[in-house]
Amino acid sequence: MITNPDAVRRAEAWDLEEVHLDAPDPNPLSSFRAKRDAQRGQPGFAVLVERDRVWLRWPEFEDGEVFLMELGPDGRRLRQVEIGVDGDAVKTSAEDWPFNAPFDLHDPQHSAMEIGRDDFETAWQRAHRAPDG
């Protein structure tokens, strides 16, 4: 939720089309509704919702890097550990990111990425902050 009064005033000036959630298809939200409908029957759907904290291990990238993330109840990252191919681990937190879009905690793919709190905390304690600059 955006509560900054300046941001709200700027957004109110945008010329955006209003779309109602129950508008008949097709509408700008139709693809999102279809995606959610397809997810509902999958194992793991919404199992991460309504938790105070969620810890995920993002699958390895092609270069072998791994990301461990701690998410809040709204799906936004709170803390993150980036583990490089050489094993070097760098920790960052919400203050380090100019953009922090939420993860969809209903998405069943995320339940397969879940790790335990202890796994995340061990990596967090081992990691170091990136040098400034």
- pLDDT tens for each residue of 85-112: 999 999 999 999 888 999 999 999 999 9
d(CA 112, CA 24): 34
β 77-83/54-58 pair status:
unpaired
Domain ranges of the chain: 22-129
pTM comes to 0.80
